[in-house]
Structure 1
Amino acid sequence: MDVNAYGLAKMYSDVCSNIVIDTKDKSIAKKIQNLDMKIYDTKITMKNQQAEEALASFIVKQVRV
């Protein structure tokens, strides 16, 4: 198994149709899209509470909960 966003996407492709990846993983986005997954890319590293809140806000906006 690839130990990266693609490996994770491949592992969950049978139960998930969307994935959030880090912007630095954009180079493998097409490979993930070939798994019929919709990609949302943003900074996902959470070094502090502000980053945690930013990621949570991004995800909520994307899924429109």
Structure 2
Amino acid sequence: AYGLAKMYSDVCSNIVVDTKDRLLVKKIQSLDMKVYETKITMNNKLAEDALANFILKQIHV
């Protein structure tokens, strides 16, 4: 997650990371990125909808 965040830190100010990467949140935040932590694995339609709803809620849509 940190490598991806670092790669995109010049063009993105927000990133969604999986809960398994929670120990990297502060390190990612040091890149001046806002970090949203949730389960991002989508094994089924319910998980897809949950992730989409989480992201929309975070960006206030």
TM-score by length of 2: 0.97
Residue 27 of structure 1 deviates from its aligned partner by 0.5
Give CA-to-partner distance per residue, 1:10-56, whole Å, 9 cap, x none: 00000000000001100011110000000000000000000000000
Cα distance in 2, alignment partners of residues 48 and 60 from structure 1? 19
**What is the aligned-residue RMSD (CA, Å)?**
0.5
Cα distance in 2, alignment partners of residues 63 and 27 from structure 1? 23
Residue of structure 1 equivalent to 2:20? 24
Note the residue ranges of structure 2 that are not aligned, 5 or more in a row. none
Matched length: 61
Which 4+ stretches in 1 moved above 6 angstroms? Answer: none
TM-score by length of 1: 0.92
Note the residue ranges of structure 1 that are not aligned, 5 or more in a row. none
